[in-house]
Amino acid sequence: MKYEFIDSYVEKYKVTHMCHALDVSPSGFYKWRHRVPSERSKRRERFEQLVMCMYLVIIP
């Protein structure tokens, strides 16, 4: 969750400052950013997309 926050503000603030404030290492952030998604996270993403599509069809 911390890494997602940093990633969303990377254009506005320095990564090193945000990492220090959130008590994470910049190297950990960059490792997270360049990771290969696991099969489980891929399935979860597809499931979330399916739920959102169903929601948009049922509740216009």
In this structure, which amino acid lies at residue 21?
A
The CA distance from 14 to 11, in Å, is: 8
How many structural domains does the chain have?
1
Q: Which domain holds residue 34?
A: 2-58
Q: Name the token pair of 11.
A: 């254009």
pLDDT category at 7 given cuts 50, 70, 90 is very high
* Residues above pLDDT 70, as percent of the chain: 98
Q: Which tens digits make up the pLDDT trace of 28-46?
A: 999 999 999 899 999 999 9
This prediction has a pTM of 0.65
